[in-house]
Amino acid sequence: MTPQPTVDPHGSIETVFRIESARVIAAVTRVVRDVGIAEELAQDALVAALEQWPRDGVPDNPGAWLTATARHRAVDLIRRRENYARKLQEIGRDLETTAPPEEPADPDDIDDDLLRLVFTTCHPVLSPQARIALTLRLLGGLTTPEIARAFLVPESTVAQRIVRAKRTLATKNVAFEVPYGPDREARLGSVLDVIYLIFNEGYAATAGDDWLRPSLCEDALRLARVLSSLMPKEPEVHGLTSLLEFQASRTTARTGPDGTPILLKDQNRRRWNRMLIARGINALGRAEATAAGAPGPYALQAAIAACHAHAYTYEETDWRTISTLYGLLAARTQSPVVELNRAVAVSMAQGPGAALEIVDTLAAEPALQEYHLLPSVRGDLLARLGRTTEARAELARAAELTVNERERELLRAKLRSLPAQ
């Protein structure tokens, strides 16, 4: 009899918790009304899984198991508190006798809780940097080092932001809700930025062995779609949704069977998801129809993505329009990263020489000193100009700076492909 392969419960726990942690935290926050305590209870549920799953086996619905365990512990915590009576009024008179359900009755309820969690962590009592860091931590499940890489700041800075943000939300008694009216409008910009960063972390992971983290992309896209339905008159909401639809349409073409990254010019565009492209076009149309003036940053990025989506081959890409759109985007955002992207488009529209001039002006930007894509782009441009020795040095530096193993190997492959001296 052939022995059956055994399931590694510790590996399953790590995978499930990475995927489900945001949903667990959001569900528990509904009970305890404190995101810091909710995160601790989610960690308690993880410890319980580490103790029980190796002995009893991985449950059929591990995500629901973690949620139910964390919620039970939340109820026990509230019962032990001295201010139990006041808390009982806030969460319902039946809490004392009614146990939390073993799993959510409707998957959409989980997504609603995620949306509440986004707006809670983007409350104006927090600084913009703290809002994004905390939401990436709680919703995206990113570690402190991963967030630090995304922000291009020291890990200690991110850790302090997260701790202070959770303390502030607790002391200010911030409500766990999706706000309405002017309050929603005031908090929308931060919410959009957070959703975009979460998607980006899934689309091109900062660190680790995998280039893609699809669950983050799915959560971000779902949140963007929910926002679109909640705020149909907001052009930037539709702009962000459009951008994510276009980006998500390329996901299956961005890696090979073994997970190796495939660059845009080498992707099989027949594998791009035409349904998501159609959704992106529709969302971009809504963004344009609701805009009262010049397009916002997300609508501009969506328009750039639409240019790629409309090109059936890499050679057909309208690089002149893309470089023009990047110019408008750079003027709106004053972002050196956007300017670096503009340089790539200029290199395709006008040649590598014109692009190199742009890139060289970015060399002194403090935010780009440890940003691996700056030497990566510069190396590519130098290689196209035949300056192979300089290109080697730049690509080697880019490989050293990245902490994603897949991207490092891609850069090393570029190095190996350069002609011998």
> How far is the CA of 30 from the CAs of 92, 110, 113, in angstroms?
11, 11, 7
- For residue 57, the tally of other CB atoms under 10 A from its CB is 11
Would you place residue 376 in the very low, low, confident or very high pLDDT band (cuts 50, 70, 90)? very high
pLDDT attached to residue 141: 75
Mean pLDDT of 166-179: 89
Give phi and psi for 142, each to the nearest 5.
-75, 150
Mean pLDDT of 188-214: 72
When mean pLDDT is compared over 25-39, 138-152, 368-382, the highest value belongs to: 368-382
Look at residue 235 and tell me whether its pLDDT is greater than 50.
yes
pLDDT single digits (tens) 238-294: 999 999 999 999 988 988 887 777 888 899 999 999 999 999 999 999 999 999 888
Read off the tokens for 178: 């999706």
Mean pLDDT of 144-151: 76
Look at residue 158 and tell me whether its pLDDT is greater than 60.
yes
Contacts 24+ apart (CB under 8 A), 220-228: 220/195, 220/196, 220/244, 221/245, 221/248, 222/111, 222/114, 223/111, 223/114, 223/115, 223/118, 223/195, 223/198, 224/195, 224/199, 226/111, 226/112, 226/115, 227/115, 227/191, 227/192, 227/195, 228/283, 228/286
| pTM, to two decimals | 0.70
Read off the tokens for 321: 């329009």
pLDDT single digits (tens) 34-87: 888 888 888 888 888 888 888 888 788 888 888 888 888 888 777 776 555 555
Mean pLDDT of 141-159: 81
Would you place residue 103 in the very low, low, confident or very high pLDDT band (cuts 50, 70, 90)? very low
pLDDT attached to residue 113: 82
Would you place residue 5 in the very low, low, confident or very high pLDDT band (cuts 50, 70, 90)? very low
pLDDT attached to residue 248: 93
pLDDT attached to residue 89: 62
More confident call, 122 vs 320: 320
pLDDT attached to residue 11: 65
More confident call, 22 vs 171: 171
Would you place residue 379 in the very low, low, confident or very high pLDDT band (cuts 50, 70, 90)? very high
More confident call, 152 vs 419: 419
pLDDT attached to residue 74: 84
- 290, 308 in Cβ contact below 8 A? no
Look at residue 219 and tell me whether its pLDDT is greater than 90.
no
Q: Name the residue ranges covered by the structural domains of the chain.
A: 183-202+213-304
Would you place residue 204 in the very low, low, confident or very high pLDDT band (cuts 50, 70, 90)? low
More confident call, 135 vs 208: 135
- Average pLDDT value for the chain: 83
More confident call, 139 vs 8: 139
Look at residue 374 and tell me whether its pLDDT is greater than 80.
yes
Mean pLDDT of 200-227: 71
Helices (H), 33-138: 35-56, 62-80, 84-91, 107-121, 128-138
